[in-house]
Structures are given as C-alpha cells and as structure tokens.
Structure 1
C-alpha cells in the first residue's frame, strides 16, 4: 500500500480518537441506549479509519436484549473487541490493564466492564461471582476465554473459569468466531497483537494492508443446562468456534505467549 494512504488512515484514526475523547463526557450523562448507539458509531468509525471491512453473519443472535448472555470468541487482535462492539456494544470481561489504555479503555469502561487481575488468581472467584451477578441482571458480556492471543490456524483452548459465571447466572452462552481475510480471500493473522508487539506495531501493520476484512460469525446459542459443568460448556463453545475456523487456511501459524483476559 502507498505511504500516503497509510498516513491518511493514521490521520483518520487520530480524528476518531479525538471524537471519542470529546464524546466521553456526553456518555456519562446520557441514557444507556444512547451510549450504546454512540459507542457503536465510534467503534465502526475505528474500523473504517484503519481500512477494515466488517462482515457479519448471524447478527440476529446478538440482537436479543433484556436478558443476560455470555458472548465468547477467539482472540487474535485488539480489533476483536472493536468489531464485536461495532455489532453490539456490551460489557466485557477484560484484563485490568485495558482500563488504562487511551480511548479504547475509556470506551470499554464506560460500557460497564468487569475487570480481572491476571496476576491475582485469588481474586478469580470474586470476579466470576461479579460476572454472574452482571449476567443475572440482564446484561450481555463478552469474554475471550483462551487466556492468550493466538496467531495461527485456529485458536487456543477455551479455559472454563468464565463459563462458571454463565452456569451460576442461568444464562446462555453465545459462541462467536472471528477471522481476518485479505482481498483475495485468504485468511491472515497480520493484524495479530502478540509477543513483544505494542499496539502501535499492530496498528501500523493494519493500516498497511489492502482489502482487510474481519468476519464476525455469530453461532447458535448454548442453552442453560445443556452442559453438565463448566468444562463441558467450554468444550461445547470451543467446538462451535472450530466449525468456522478449523477449515480455514492461515498464513502465520505462530502461537502468542501474551496473556489476555479470558
């Protein structure tokens, strides 16, 4: 891609960031529905700014409101939460560091995120209990249960801890599969946020790509009571995501060791 277009995309992203900064005070005082609309607009503008086309299948599964649901998806890039929120803004179970990220952290926090301390395993039961409470209250919450970003053919194993919250809350689990493709249709992991990467490194790679698309496949819900325990529930969700990702070719099958919330 030409250097001028890369700089144009970076400039567009900066403008979206400024717009988001200006909207933060407004998000505090407006109603929940207005906050969701504003957040969806900002997240979609981020995708447009960096040249990512959003392709969604099964979006009706995210449209139901008024009841709790645990939304779980594979995790490759910082763009994942942007894409899911561009379809439907929702609360997230996120690593505590995200709260300190500029713009994205503020938007995620404004959405009522539940934060988890990755270094403090003793706090995990309290985090799961808090997540179950939020789900019982009728909120949709998105979780990345792999525990790491994953740069490769499929994804990492789904850890069962967060699924206990769905069981305790008596809510369904909604699996979502995310996949990046280039213009020619081949899967790519170029946008991955891994290892020693900074978010700036990832952004630079993304804006340099031509014809990048992010597919969001919303799959069938897993009803409460279908699984005997959290491990079986995690396995069911992982198998559902596999039905989309397993057949896909990938270009850079490298596993990341970067811990993320999940």
Structure 2
C-alpha cells in the first residue's frame, strides 16, 4: 500500500475515531442488554440484533460509503447465502437484515472482527469432517429457533469482482428430515463499487492481505464509493433434489446479480 500522506491520516482519524466509538460503544450496550436478554429468551435474540443494525447502518454514514439495497428481505424461516468480498461484509449484510454469520472457528480469535462476531451471535465451525454431525445439529437448533444464518459458500473472501464456485457441503445441513420442508434459502449479491478513479477491487480483502493496512486504506480514502446489496427471491429447499443443485442455483443467482450490476 502506498503512503497515505498527511491528509490521509487526517481523514483516517476523522473517520476512525467516530467509527471506533460507534462500534465499541454499540458492543458495550449490546453486551449489557444481552445479560438480561439471554436468561429470559435463551437462544432467541429479540432485542440485540436491532443494536447491531443501528451500528452497521451508521458505520457507512461515518465512512462516507453510500449504502443501497434492492429486493425484499426474506420473511420465511431459513438461511441466506452470499458472495464474500471484504471485512465490510459484516456491516453490509447486517445493515438491513437480521442475520447471524456462519464462520470458520479461527475468526473468533481475530482482534476486532472476532470480538464483533462473537458478540453478535456468529456460529463458529471447525473445518473437520469429524465435527460434521455436531455442526448439523447446531445449524438445526439455530434455524428452527428462527435465526437467519448467513453462509459464504465460496469458503473464502475474494477481490469483490469475481464470484468463486460455491461449495455444496454446507448446503447438506438444509436437507435433513427436520429442515428440508421447513426452510427457504435467499441468495444475496453484494457489489462494492470503488471510489472514482480507484482500482475496482478497492474494497476487496482477500488472500494474505492484512486487516490493519486495508482498514487504514479505506479510512484514508479521499473519496469513497458505494455498496449495493441485492436480495433475490427466496426458494424452498424441498424444490431441489439435493445440495448440489441448490448450491448451483444459488451460485448462478448470486453471480448473475454481481455481473449485472457491474455492467
């Protein structure tokens, strides 16, 4: 990353300090509310997701990134699948819809992102075939409790331009006898538009990129771009014969949404 210069540091501080107050202030309030919410409602979270949404919506106002959405959020019981481009997805996908991320276990140990993920009810899983049954039981409990779990079937983040093939493994959890006739799946396309004159991959965070420098680059940008979230029509799980056909449909729908917006 090239040096950001004196004015870049000014912009980074002008955005970063209010953002830190918003995020950590919201996190503190959420944890306090959760102390009362958990013993009363258990797995259900009727209050704290609204705190998360408030924080995420206002994060974009502080950053100066324009947030747009199209389509209707799913009302039916079920899960959400989306493409994964950036740490900004945490804010993007929480800003309008009450969802709970499904993430690899190591994310829980990451500073900043891990704290937010744990506090907001993220489901952490290990990539160990021996734990597949435990993961399936966990998904069932959360989905049947009405939680909208959000999966990133690509399995990793990308540059924000391409959509990688969807891995079908996690889709198998939707095809159990308890779930397949109960659930809908909503594909969601997330499209980041770079600031004018910047690389179209500006908001992408992938590969071996470090979080700190990427965050600083976004905070210091003289101009910001926008993010568009497309909510596609939900589909019933039992309309598909197996996990591979559902994964293929979801992948095509998400990719078409990204490519259409890029034209």
Aligned to 1:244: 257
Deviation at 1:113, TM superposition (A): 2.4
Question: Mean alpha-carbon deviation: is it higher for 106-115 or for 219-228?
Answer: 106-115
Partner residue of 1:175 out of 162, 187, 194 = 187
User: TM-score normalised to the size of structure 2?
Assistant: 0.83
CA distance in 2, matches of 1:45, 1:249: 26
3-state DSSP of counterpart to 2:118: helix
Residues 110, 7 of structure 1: alpha-carbon distance in 2 compared, 3 angstrom cutoff: closer
Instruction: Name structure 1 gaps, 5 residues minimum.
Output: 251-262
CA distance in 2, matches of 1:183, 1:25: 35
Aligned to 2:201: 189
User: TM-score normalised to the size of structure 1?
Assistant: 0.84
1:84-233 aligned within 5 A: 84-118=93-127, 120-151=128-159, 153-168=161-176, 169-170=179-180, 171-184=183-196, 188-209=200-221, 210-233=223-246
Deviation at 1:73, TM superposition (A): 0.2
Deviation at 1:214, TM superposition (A): 1.0
2:103 equivalent to 1:51: no
CA RMSD between the two structures:
2.4
Question: Mean alpha-carbon deviation: is it higher for 127-136 or for 78-87?
Answer: 127-136
Instruction: Name structure 2 gaps, 5 residues minimum.
Output: 38-44
Residues 104, 196 of structure 1: alpha-carbon distance in 2 compared, 3 angstrom cutoff: closer
Q: Which deviations, in whole Å up to 9, do the C-alpha atoms of 1:30-55 show, x marking residues without a partner?
A: 44232111111112233233332211
Matched length: 245
Deviation at 1:24, TM superposition (A): 4.0
